Each structure stands twice: as structure tokens, then as C-alpha cells.
Amino acid sequence: MAKKGTFNGTFFGNFSSRLHGTPVRFGLLLGQPVEDGLGDVLFAAATPELAQEEGEPSTQPKELVSLLKSSANGVSFTEWAKQHASAVRKLLPAGLEPLGCFVVASEAMVKDLAPLLVPILLQFSEPLVLSIDPSTRKNSFWQLAAGFKPALRPAQMKPDNYKDHVLLWTVTNIDILLPQIYSHEAGNVDELAAEVNRLVDESLKSCLTSLCSERSVPQVVDLDSESILASALPKDCHQLRVAFLRPASVLRAGEGTLRQRCVLTSSALLLRQNVELRHAVAKLREELAASAAERVRLALEECENPGGVLHLPWRSLFTPEDLQFPVWLGDYCMPDEAHEAAKERLGQLLGIQESALEEAPEYLDEHTILKAKHEGTYRPRTMEQAKAPPAKEKEKAQGSTPAVPALAACVGMVVLILAVAIPKLL
């Protein structure tokens, strides 16, 4: 039996009209993979123009075939499109990823594009292609078949409104222990990020996992059960908060260790309620671990001097306002940045007007949470500082406020990712 898929009828019903008259010719299709299916396509993101030398005017070809064969500053459009897909993948909530691409081309031209699209789409499983006829504005879905003779064949796709979607979300506090060793080599940074990812995931797996909605009491998730997501949902409920619970942090590290505290907000969008609950929670856990690793990577890249302070970035979340369900897209901001910086970058990466991006509510706003609950605490600390009593207690005991020594250290390799603090339930 031929594989089938779905697409967001509301979004793509207007998509061709929105592109009409613009220079956009190529972009990504974003959605949810489906086992034994072609996937659920939710929305699309136009690929930005190839980067030009500073001061140079845009020379992007207007004709699609010429665009796919073009290059600038030694970078081919194929590599540029693959880099764009990698960058967009980091913005997406758990459960969503690039599924293919869209092209603005007539149906007659599309069938000849397969060899040019294969290098871009090889990284995707069951890659889809949406063609948009510039004259008739007709949308047609195709499935790319790679091989000796690449071809585009009609794909069986039908519109859907995803009324049964469920958003799992969490705000989790994590302590990360790192040694005061600095190495700025790319290989060491990649190794560190991979280790952070692995250890955060292991730490979260060892936690007691609970979930609740606004209208239900918390319930513990049995990770050995095959019960489906629908069994945990009250009627007409589309959001569940997930908490990773542990009685206390386990502080174990060698000499000269730093303690990095981090607030992680994360979400997982599930379009079907017949997913096993343990698998849904696993998607959220994996996204948290990947987010922690990316923060450490970015902090190391921003740390230019061995004597500098390591600043973990925070995550700013937005959703396109023309989607009928919450797709919280996240960009990372350094401590001296505000939401506006993330909004501008998201608009460029997704090909969306900044005015069309809606900011996340307060319960998913890391910046607000940090300022309200953790002012001054989310910075690198030595183990001695972490164990020391708060300044106010010292002041009461000594009658004066002791001087706080400045910390100057960067990080090379991870020692241990620590436990997850108990978050406050709804």
C-alpha cells in the first residue's frame, strides 16, 4: 500500500497567495515524521538569500533552476540550503523537523528538478516536495525517489486541521558541574556538547516524571507502561505540563569545579493522541538534553579568553500567529540580549515578518522566570561558593557583607551533569 501523509490545510490554503509577487523560490517544509507514513506537514520556511560580501548587492537568480545551481563566496546553494535546514532544526520544538522542501515552479518544470534536489534532501527520510505554480498558484505534493535515476512522483497527501494535537511543556532547573579548564578548539567544544547531551539525558531518565493539566492533579508517568497519551488527557485538553522530579541535587566533582545553573524551557508538539505516553515524554527529555548541550556550545564559542566568564544563553520562544496551534520556536540569546534580538533572527531564518511572530506566555518565558525567581544566581560558581551560605545569612552572622570574589574561568570538558531540581507544579 502506498504511503500517505497530511498537510495543514489552513496554512497551505493561503501559502501560494502569500508568496505571489515575492522573490521567494525555495524553502523548507516543516512538520512531524510519521512511522510508515509520509509525515504531517505543518508550515514552511523560506531559505534566506546566499550571504554576499559586505556592501555587495544581491545577485540571487530569479529563475529556480539557476538558483539551485548558483553559488556565492565559494558556497553553493546546495550547501547553503543544508546549513539552513540544520539551523532551523535547532529552532523547532520536540517532535518537529524538516520533511522536505517547497519550490515555486510550474508542474511541467518540477519533474526535471529531481537531480538538483537530491543533494539537498538526502538528509531527510521520505523527503517531500511541494510545487507552487507561479501562474495558477496550484499546490502539488511530490515524493522524491533518489537512486540511479532520481524522480519526483505524486504524493498522497490530504488536508488536516489536527484537532487532537497536544502540547507537552516543561520548565526544568538543571545544575551542571564543569571543571575550570579552557580549550577553544572546535573538536573539544563538540566533544563537550555531546557529553553534556548524554549526561543530561541520563540525569532526566533517573528522575520521577509527572504531568498535569490546569484541571487535573499531577500523575506519575509509568515509563514501562504502553498506555497512550489520550489516557492522560482530560476532556478538551490540549496542554500538559511535565515535571522531572528529584529530591535534591547530587554534587560530585573534582577540585576546582564550577557549578552552572540553568533554566530550561522546552515543549513537544504531538499531533496524534495515540502515541505511547512514554515515547511522548522521551521526545521532550531528548529535546531538553539537546538544548542544554547547545547552550554550553554557544557559551564556549562566545567565551573568547581563558580568563573570561562562561555565560550560558537563555531561550526566547515565539510562534507564527497564523498557525492554529502552539509551535514554540526557540532561539538562544546571550545574557545581554533581549527578546527582540531573537525575534529578528527567527524572522530571517523562517522567512516570516517579525510582526507575525507571537511571543510565548510568561510560564514559558525564560527571561521573566530568571529575573523573577533566580536573579543573580545563574552564573558560574565554584563549589566553595555553591556550598557557602547566602550573603544575607553571612551579614546577619558577621554584621557586614563580605566581598564576593570575581570568578574568571572557562570550560573545556564536562565532569558531570547534576540532578534536576523539583519544579513548581501548576
207: exposed, middle or buried (C-beta count within 10 Å: 0-12, 13-18, 19+)?
middle
* Mean model confidence pLDDT for the chain: 80
118 and 251 assigned to the same domain: no
Give pLDDT, residue 92.
Answer: 94
245 and 300 assigned to the same domain: yes
CA 27 – CA 45 distance, rounded (Å)? 5
* Three-state secondary structure call for residue 32: strand
Confidence of residue 424 (pLDDT cuts 50, 70, 90): very low
Of 138, 160, 182, the last residue of a domain is 160
Of 111, 128, 160, the last residue of a domain is 160
Q: pLDDT of 174-206, one tens digit each? A: 877 766 554 555 567 788 788 888 888 888 888
Domain CATH for 96: 3.40.140.10
78 and 205 assigned to the same domain: no
Q: pLDDT of 280-292, one tens digit each? A: 999 999 999 999 8
Q: Is residue 56 part of a domain?
A: no
Q: Is residue 195 part of a domain?
A: yes
CA 224 – CA 282 distance, rounded (Å)? 12
90 and 179 assigned to the same domain: no
> Position of cell 543544508?
82
Query: Quick check: 279 pLDDT over 50?
Result: yes
CB contact set of 352 (below 8 Å; sequence gap of 6+) = 45, 320, 346
Q: pLDDT of 16-46, one tens digit each? A: 888 888 889 999 999 999 988 899 999 999 9
Handedness of CA 179, 301, 348, 94 (dihedral sign): negative
Query: Quick check: 247 pLDDT over 70?
Result: no
Least confident piece of the model among 12-26, 150-164, 260-274, 402-416:
402-416
Give pLDDT, residue 305.
Answer: 62
Domain count of the fold of the chain: 2
Domain residue limits at 94: 4-50+63-160
70 and 188 assigned to the same domain: no
Give pLDDT, residue 269.
Answer: 92
Query: Quick check: 402 pLDDT over 50?
Result: no
Of 130, 160, 190, the last residue of a domain is 160
